[in-house]
Structures are given as C-alpha cells and as structure tokens.
Amino acid sequence: MKMPVLMVAIIFATAVAHASPQCQAAIDNVAKALAAARAMSDLDKPAKCRALFLIPLQSDVGLVCTAQGDLKIVQDEYLPLAKSAGDEAVKVCPK
C-alpha cells in the first residue's frame, strides 16, 4: 500500500518542479527585450525609456505562466528582470 502512495508523491513532485515550455519562452522573450533595450543608445533616451517601460506591459507571462510549476520560475527569473527594467527606466526616463 505504501508503494503506490510513494509513486504518486514522486510523480506529483516531478510534475510540479518544472515550468511549462510556454512560460519559459515568455520569460526568455522578456530577457531578450531587456537586452535589446539595454543595447539601445543612451542618446535616444525617449526610445530607450519607451522600450524599458513596455517590457512588463508587452509580456504575456501573466497569461501563460499558470501551470503548477511556473510560480518558481516567475519568482526566480521574471521578477528580477521586471525589477531591473523598472530600475533602469527610472534612471533613463525623464522625471
């Protein structure tokens, strides 16, 4: 009787531990957008500001990262990216 319970626990743990491919792809797109915004020239501050501001708004992370295992990747990868984009936008955008 204990073996099936153990098997179910192992299967559940492995299913929960991994993020969905759609979520990972959405977070990868955010990382690429942030890298592209960082690569923009500081001479065109309005464009760089707009690019940084739009990163979290254009992201579909909130729509696709709904699987059981997605919360960890959102906390570990997406939130630092979004915070970094916001911090840079504060520095680049006019007040």
Residue 83 burial (C-beta neighbours within 10 Å; 0-12, 13-18, 19+): exposed
pLDDT of residue 26: 94
Q: Where do the H-state alpha helices sit in the chain? A: 2-17, 21-39, 45-58, 61-64, 70-73, 79-92
List pLDDT tens digits, range 14-24.
444 578 999 99
Listed by start position, the domains of the chain span 19-92
Mean pLDDT by 10 residues, the chain (95 residues): 44 56 94 94 91 88 91 93 92 87
